Amino acid sequence: MQMQLVDKSLGSPQHPLLLAPTRLRTWSRPGGTCGDGEGAGGVPHPIPSLRPPAAGTMEIVYVYVKKRSEFGKQCNFSDHQAELNIDIAPNPELAEQFVERNPVDTGIQCSVSMSEHEANTERFEMETRGVNHVEGGWPKDVNPLELEQTIRFRKKVEKDENYINAIMQLGSIMEHCIKQNNAIDIYEEYFNDEEAVEVTEEAPSAKTINVFRDPQEIKRAATHLSWHPDGNRKLAVAYSCLDFQRAPVGMSNDSYIWDLENPNKPELALKPSSPLVTLEYNPKDSHVLLGGCYNGQIACWDTRKGSLVADLSTIEFSHRDPVYGTIWLQSKTGTECFSASTDGQVMWWDIRKISEPTEVVIMDITRKEQLENALGAISLEFESTLPTKFMVGTEQGIIISCNRKIVCTFSGHHGPIYALQRNPFYPKNFLTVGDWTARIWSEDSRESSIMWTKYHMAYLTDAAWSPVRPAVFFTTKMDGTLDIWDFVFKQCDPALSLKVCDEALFCLRVQDNGCLIACGSQLGMTTLLEVSSGLSTLQRNERNIASSMFERETRREKILEARHREMRLKEKGKAEGRDEEQRDEGLATDLEALVSKAEEEFFDIIFAELKKQEADAIKPKPMPQQPSSEEVQVAQEGEEATGERVGDEEEEDLA
Amino acid sequence: MIFLVEETLKRIQSHKGVIGTMVVNAEGIPIRTTLDNSTTVQYAGLLHQLTMKARSTVRDIDPQNDLTFLRIRSKKHEIMVAPDKEYLLIVIQNPCE
């Protein structure tokens, strides 16, 4: 029986008949290819044939037959001469589709082919350990503890010829150098008094120095940072989860103090009973820290005593909401502080008696001291040069300036004010951050801020002035960028914008020398950045420029405020005048009538002008180009004039 | 000869600003010192390694060169090391400003 097996699968490279670009049907026999199988019965012959199938492509088929009775028989392989089964001649017609190219330019490099790979190694964990240096090197017969033996050894060495020669020679060299040192100080600073006033034209830049990662498994956001007051070698970071009731189970409450030299392991862990939202070092006593907890309590630590809370306020008298702002006050005892929270209260504490606040102020701007009307406080500001005044930034976007009692308010932000800081050089101006802008205010201008940035794409979370340059401030955003603004250099954009990390940045603190910035992110990563010297050294004339800018903007705002006030008074005046005749609805309809009348007049004047223009166009013109543009200009001016006139007419009507 | 050695070392010690002098051998054993033992041992161990490193650096750059003197100027004082095949002479001086 003959059978034909047609296997549609494209054969393996071992098959003899592959290769043609045309569609190829090959036969493959499991168990390897074999030549003519010899066995009892018929010898299957391969019958290669070129059968042009209906589609028009060449089909090469390799057919072999096998008797059914021979299925399953053992394969007997034999050697076979190579047989040319199919010879596919090249088709010269295809060559006509190509054009010969002569010469051909190809680049060839005769070198070893190489590839570039990058690999990032695992973080190298280092630990500092001390080694006890034990005296060694003594020869075996000398016991280093025995004084006699060592003395004897030394005496023996001193008698050595080599020793004598060596010392003589070395001694003379040494004396020469000693005398040199005594004669001249080669590292003397010439011209110490004149400071180098180089205007470095280098672009502002900042680079990351170090990263402190939260060692906990469950990552919490770094919500507040505080630099150590002496020398700034340490950084206290408060970690907590600010999502309402979404703190994962098992989240640790610890906050850490990091030593800048050792980014792998925090120096000290502070263990409160509830996660800390803010943390501040006492500027007078660098061992004492004040922390505001998520549950509203105030806690303080003494680093000499360890990581457990030294003092904790009682829950009944603490805040009812997380404590968002805590600041130490300047007092003789250095133990007074105050705190603010979104429950609308600002409390004063003395940490010696932290169980109860010494004073409570309710942030109620209607001055009725009602807790229900109070605005939630998010940020707190206190300047030690103005010891009785403080400012509170609220959730509602209003800044309240207080002097133990509420004095005045500034409104202008659309969202909670996350940062509030006075300019260290010009305390009358302060910086706030809230919604998508950062604004600079002056105390004199209550209606609005004097300077503001444009609306950004991401929410701004924190801001700080630079302690060395009055015109530089830093802001952080929810998309993980840090912006450095320098408004004597550029006002509409940040001078430098850096993407620090992919997650949101929550807080920012500048070190006192103005060079190092620490910012904390949502996953607990605190990044330490160093800014270029251009941004951290006082520029020539900068203080004057900055103060003149503040004054100029304040004056502009004052003028605008005065203008607004005038307009409001006028409106009030006209409203009162109207009240004698009609009521408020009458006023509304009258306004509409006025508007329609104004529109009519306006269009009348426009049409009159157009008609005049057409009439002029019909008249013969000596110079076709210019008069028409002049006419257009005149027409435009006429329109503007009529616009103004309409306005004046309106005002005259109203007056 | 030994007397000369003594005199040399005494003279060095008496120069203005010199805080301490010590002679250390190749194994790190202090032969003569004017400072206390623990300081001497510390200086001996550390400076020996540093001198070796400095010498090998100089010779790596130019094999025909050799280290003759090593001066380390720090904020507080200057450490001067005169190396030899077998011994090290170390002097700590506070340069006058």
Structure tokens of A530? 């160093």
With beta carbons less than 8 A apart as the criterion, state whether B87 and B51 touch: no
Output A2 or A586, whichever has higher pLDDT: A586
Residue A58 has pLDDT above 50, yes or no: yes
pLDDT of residue A114: 84
Whole-angstrom distance, CA of residue B77 vs CA of residue B90 = 13
- A234-240 β-sheet, strand order: A221-227, A234-240, A255-259, A268-270
pTM: 0.55
The pLDDT tens digits for B49-75 are: 899 899 999 999 998 999 999 999 888
Of A199-208, A324-333, A385-394, A462-471, the range with the lowest mean pLDDT is A199-208
Whole-angstrom distance, CA of residue A271 vs CA of residue A261 = 22
Band (A26; pLDDT cuts 50, 70, 90): very low
Whole-angstrom distance, CA of residue A179 vs CA of residue A186 = 12
Whole-angstrom distance, CA of residue A611 vs CA of residue A6 = 91
Band (A534; pLDDT cuts 50, 70, 90): confident
Q: What values do phi and psi take at A255, rounded to 5? A: -120, 160
Residue A374 DSSP one-character state: P
Band (A194; pLDDT cuts 50, 70, 90): low
Could you tell me how far CA A323 lies from the centroid of its own chain? 25
Q: Inter-chain contact B11–A185, Cβ cutoff 8 Å?
A: no
pLDDT of residue A587: 53
Query: What does the angle CA A328 – CA A331 – CA A333 come to, to the nearest 5 degrees?
Result: 100
Q: Inter-chain contact B2–A164, Cβ cutoff 8 Å?
A: yes
Beta bridge partners of A206: A531
pLDDT of residue B96: 67
Query: Residue A103: is the preceding peptide bond cis (ω within 30°)?
Result: yes
Could you tell me how far CA A615 lies from the centroid of its own chain? 64
pLDDT of residue A542: 85
Nearest to A311 by CA among A360, A279, A350: A350
Residue A34 has pLDDT above 60, yes or no: no
In chain B, the residue whose alpha carbon lies closest to the alpha carbon of A160 is B2
What number is the ipTM of this complex?
Answer: 0.83
Q: Which of A157, A170, A176, A185 to mutate to test the interface with B (most CBs of B within 10 A)?
A: A170
With beta carbons less than 8 A apart as the criterion, state whether A236 and A222 touch: no
Band (A21; pLDDT cuts 50, 70, 90): very low
Band (B23; pLDDT cuts 50, 70, 90): very high
The pLDDT tens digits for A570-583 are: 988 888 777 665 55
pLDDT of residue A564: 87
Q: What is the CA radius of gyration of chain A?
A: 44
* Residue A151 Cα, gap to closest chain B Cα (Å): 9
Band (A64; pLDDT cuts 50, 70, 90): confident
Residue A271 DSSP one-character state: B
Residues of B with CB under 8 A from a CB of A: 1-2, 4-5, 8-9, 11-12, 15-18, 23, 25, 27-29, 31-32, 41-42, 45, 68-69, 71, 73, 78, 80, 82, 84-87, 89, 91, 93, 95-97
Of A23-37, A183-197, A552-566, the range with the lowest mean pLDDT is A23-37
Burial pattern A173-183, b for ≥16 Cβ within 10 A else e, equals bbbebbeebee
Output A197 or A93, whichever has higher pLDDT: A93
% of chain A beyond a pLDDT of 70? 79
* Mean per-residue pLDDT of chain B: 88
- Domains annotated on chain A, with CATH: 206-538 (2.130.10.10)
The pLDDT tens digits for A229-276 are: 887 788 888 888 877 777 777 788 888 899 888 888 888 888 888 888
- Domains annotated on chain B, with CATH: 1-93 (3.30.450.30)
> What DSSP element (H or E) covers A236?
strand A234-240
pLDDT of residue A538: 82
Burial-class residue A71 by CB neighbours within 10 Å (0-12, 13-18, 19+).
Answer: exposed
